[in-house]
Chain A
Amino acid sequence: MSELQTLAEMTMLDPSKCTFTPTDGGYISLKYEDTTYERIKICRALPYKAPDEYICLLTRDDKEIGILRRLNQLSEENQKHVLNELSKMYYCPTVTKIISVKDRMGYQYYEVITNAGKREFALRDASRNIRYVSPEKRGAVQIRDIDGNRYLIEDFDTFDSQSRKKIEAFLV
């Protein structure tokens, strides 16, 4: 084992020792070995490429507890709890249709239908804020509005063709 690998092992958590429990108020707690961490935060190291790998666990005041290498090493029950927390953390409505795009003063105004309902938002610098999630430039497309809210188009190739025409010029 290389030295770097030894170093890496130190931050990795042993999945068999993790027990996650949802708590009141929509929080989640972690019992690892003999310590219990209340209201932990869960983040992805590779949110797009490998959303279920390298899951980082933090305490309430943002100190790292450790990293889970793969989610599927956890028991099903635990996996469910972690995924639940992740979906809250990374909440992102899916766009099903773009009703209109209006250019005004260098900003774009969108009216879209998402799986969470109809929504209007504005964005600037379209070619930077509408982009393919993967570097291969295929599949899912992410839109980020002025406030940093994110919207996802699950698969651009099968996306509604009228909607696709409205934004394809900005996809680089």
Chain B
Amino acid sequence: MAESLSEYLSRIPEHVREEIASSGIDISQIVAYIYSDMAPDGTFADCWIFFDSQLLYVMTGFDSVEKRNGPKKLKCVYRRKSLERFELSTIKKFETERFIGTARLMAHLEDEKEAPVQIAMFSLGIAGKSERFVKHFADMKEGKPFDAKANEEEELFCPKCGTRYPNPARKVCPKCMNKMSIFSRLLGFFKFYKDKLVLFFAVILLSTLFSVVSPYLGTKLLYDNVLTPGVDANLYGEVGLVMLVIIAARLVSLGFNMWQGYISGGLISYVVYDLKMKIFTAMQKHSMGFYTNKQTGQLMERVNRDTGNIYWFFVDGVPFFIINVLTFIGVLIIMLVMNPILAIIVTVMIPFLLFMFRFIHKSFRKFHHNRWVHQAVLTSHISDSMGGQRVIKAFAKEREESTRFAKYSMNARNADLKLSNAQSTVFPLLGFITIITNLVVLALGGCMIVSGYAGMTFGKLMTFTAYMNMLYSPMDFLSGFSNWWARCVDSAQRIFEIIDADPDVTEAENPVKMDEMQGNIVMENVNFEYEPGRPIIKNLSLSVEAGHMVGIVGKTGAGKSTIVNLMARLYDVVDGKITIDGIDVKNIATKDMRKNIGIVSQEIYLFIGTIADNIRYARPEASMDEVIAAAKAAAAHDFIMKLPDGYETRVGAGGQDLSGGEKQRISIARTIIQNPKILILDEATASMDTETERRIQDSLSELKAGRTTIAIAHRLSTLRDADVLAVINRGEMVEYGTHDELIRKKGEYYNLYKLQFDAVKHIGTAE
């Protein structure tokens, strides 16, 4: 969102504004500012650099917290060390210089003989902001108004608590994140399955109830009523009967457990399916920018691992959480009823035990992590040397590789050993502690039986200890539960982010329908940047007449692909306008854009499926005749027919391996069958030999009639049919004209042409 100047200025912290005002500077006159976290000598400090229309101010100092009397005892104040002023009229421009560990802001003076002056030094995180500061100054110099868009700040710190966002693109503060609200939103996914949910809780309740009651039946009844003579004439000696009762109770409890497993498993699978669908659909909405910002691997991880985390949390975590809490409370109540004194003694020990469990979880996590890291290193080493077998063999390094493997393997072994040693020490110790607790209870209870205190019997004491043992497992579980919970909420948060994210390239509200484009493309003063301060396309104007072919020439990284991506509206321009047949591409219906513009890019991707499916991707209803014609036009037919399964050969992940050039030809066929009015060829024939390229070109030129073609190529011979050529250098168009014009001009194109032509000539003479 663009913000106004006053909003921008209001982001300067209050105590800093106070300090600025007290120096007699009118804050409302400030045009731009930047915070720097280092003093000029490299020590960490809080410095502010800002300018109004006359002067540049450099304020050095640091924030400090002061104790005050009054309702607000702590107050943040700014301790100023120095305030320097520079005449703006002497400064020509600012520049950010990046070093390896730091960056600095330099002022270039109007007097070019003078060396630039260092204005501020800061850590790398601020370099991006510094670029914006530089732009604000340049805008002011040129008399442009305050550019609110340039200030679309990537806020790096949470405005509420000042914590650094782990990922500025995400803007989620781990401190302020409302875990409950995320969780309740997650629970919202369950609302379609209300009946199942009610059943689920009922079953959990019953199964817990049975497991809590069973020691009473099993122990108390057995010891006090069956084995003790004279207490209950009916039950005495009925060992078999009581055993049957115990087995029955256990069976019922077991049945409930299984039932609960089925219900929760079924329920969660549906919810996770819903979640996955939502994420995947949300991801399809996004522009290309979304995919280049976030690595594809990360995205796949989100769909799979994050939903996996949620699945296991609900399948394993939540039911056990409820069961354990219920058991814990139930058991405590029963113990209190049975013998309050012993129960209180046990209750006193609970915090201590909980602390023990928590400590163990924490320290084991460290060992587990260590082991995991070494395993990961080992695995990546294995895949490294498997993948690099050709190189290893070529350099005869098998033995060295084994030695390297031995080293990583040894590390992994040592990490394993550490973990198992820790386990061998900690678990028996833990067992010992629980035994001591049990012994204390047994001793006290024993005294009570002997003295006949509080009606204590042998059976009661045995039951009591049985219940006590039932406490350990919930304690263990609950002390480790918080990590589980945090992981699930984190996953849910990440998922919601994708679902909520607004696509940055959106269709206009009332898009213009253009069933058939003519293909007049005009770019007017287009500017574009992937990240602020690093312009890729600078003030570029270019027009392409319908039916013509334009060749775009330039060095690697000149911005050629970006230009065609902008034409196809895979990204939106930052500044300027692109029109097709006089209509701004932002207003054209996305569907019509895709239908009318075909792109064969340097990145080739085949989907999982047959070759025919892949060629038909844009128009699934295309007939087999058309598929073959397209494949022939793309010079793909011949090699497809050599494959044993012909057009039914399965390609994509896990399918038939095709060479780069073969895949490229299929993707050309895919675009030909789409029959677009505007054809974009981005290094489409780069990975082919010259002969195949020539064949494709010939067939393409037949198709070119009535079609606007934009072709990018390194090899200038590829562009021999182009009507006009545009030479791009560092995001700017440096030359434009026909081949003959440009050759006569003896400029950049001429040089490129000569270079390639000489190379060809050279080969010619060598033969």
Interface residues of A (CB under 8 A from B): 23-27, 39, 88-93, 104-107, 109, 114, 116-122, 124, 127, 145-150, 169-170, 172
Q: Which of B375-431 contact A (CB under 8 A)?
A: 377, 411
Q: Assuming A116-B43, A127-B373, is B124 touching A149 (CB within 8 A)?
A: yes
With A25-B117, A117-B45 in contact, is A149–B166 under 8 Å at CB?
no
Binding site for A on B (CB under 8 A): 38, 42-45, 99-102, 106, 114-118, 123-125, 163-164, 166-167, 172, 174-175, 177, 366, 369-370, 373-374, 377, 411, 490, 493
A90 in complex: contacting residue of B44, B45, B100, CB < 8 Å: B100
Closest Cβ–Cβ distance, residue B740 to chain A (whole Å): 34
Q: Is the CB of A105 within 8 A of B174?
A: yes
Inter-chain CA distance A90–B98, complex, in Å, is 11
With A27-B115, A169-B370 known as contacts, the answer to whether A106 contacts B123 (CB < 8 A) is: no
- The CA-CA distance from A92 to B99 in the complex, in Å, is 11
- CB contacts (< 8 Å) of A119 on chain B: these are 44
- CA gap between A88 and B104 in the complex, in Å: 10
- Residues of chain A with a CB closer than 8 A to B490's CB: 105-106
Complex CA distance for A167 and B524, rounded to whole angstroms: 54
Bound complex: CA A118 to CA B38 (Å): 11
Of the candidates A25, A88, A122, A169, the one whose C-beta lies within 8 Å of that of B166 is: A122
Selected from B164, B172, B374, the residue in CB contact (under 8 A) with A122 is: B164
Q: Looking at the assembled complex, report how far the CB atom of B295 sits from the nearest CB atom of chain A, in whole angstroms.
A: 13
Structural contact, A107 and B123, CB atoms closer than 8 A = no
Known contacts A89-B99, A91-B102; is-contact A147 B373 (Cβ 8 Å): no
Closest approach, in angstroms, between the C-beta of A112 and any C-beta of chain B?
A: 10
Q: Closest A-chain residue to B37, C-beta based?
A: A119
A114 touches B44 (CB 8 A): yes
Q: Smallest CB–CB gap between A70 and chain B, Å?
A: 21
With most chain B CB atoms within 10 A of its CB, the pick from A23, A90, A169, A170 is A169
Known: A146-B125, A172-B377. A25 touches B115 (CB 8 A): yes
A–B complex contacts, Cβ < 8 Å, 12 sampled: A27-B116, A39-B115, A88-B99, A91-B42, A92-B101, A105-B490, A118-B44, A120-B164, A145-B125, A146-B125, A172-B373, A172-B377
Cα distance, A39 to B106, chains bound together (Å) = 13
New contact pairs (6) apart from A91-B99, A106-B490, CB-CB < 8 Å: A25-B116, A91-B102, A93-B42, A107-B166, A117-B43, A169-B366
Specify which chain B residues have a CB less than 8 angstroms from the CB of A104 in the assembled complex.
166, 174-175
Contact A89 B100 (CB under 8 A): yes
Residue contact B164 to A109, C-beta cutoff 8 Å? yes
Residue of B nearest to A26 (CB): B118
**Cα–Cα distance between A93 and B39 once the two chains are bound (Å):** 13
Do B166 and A146 have beta carbons less than 8 Å apart?
yes
CB of B172 within 8 A of CB of A105, answer: yes
| 8 pairs of A and B residues whose beta carbons are closest in the complex | A104-B174, A147-B125, A107-B166, A24-B115, A117-B44, A25-B115, A116-B43, A147-B124
B43 touching A150, Cβ below 8 Å: no
Set of chain B residues within 8 Å of A105, measured between Cβ atoms: 166, 172, 174, 177, 490, 493
* Given A25-B106, A92-B101, A109-B163 contact (CB < 8 Å): yes
CB distance from A30 to the nearest CB of B (A): 15
Q: Is the CB of B44 within 8 A of A124?
A: no
Chain B nearest CB: distance from A129 CB in Å? 13
A59 CB to nearest B CB, Å: 15
Least CB separation from B408: chain A residue: A172
Question: Which residues on the A side are within 8 Å of B100 (C-beta)?
Answer: 89-91, 150
Complex CA–CA separation, A147 to B167 (angstroms) = 10
- Least CB distance, A27 to chain B, in whole angstroms: 6
A26 to B166 CA separation, bound complex (whole angstroms): 34
A172 — which chain B residues lie within 8 A by C-beta? 373-374, 377, 411
Q: Which residues on the B side are within 8 Å of A118 (C-beta)?
A: 44
User: Which A residues lie within 8 Å of B106 (CB)?
Assistant: 25
**A88, B101: Cα distance in complex, Å:** 9
Would B166 and A106 count as touching, CB distance under 8 A? yes
**Chain B residues closer than 8 Å to A114, beta-carbon distance:** 44
Tell whether, in the assembled complex, residue B164 and residue A146 are in contact, meaning their CB atoms are under 8 Å apart.
Answer: yes
Nearest A residue to B118 by beta-carbon distance? A26
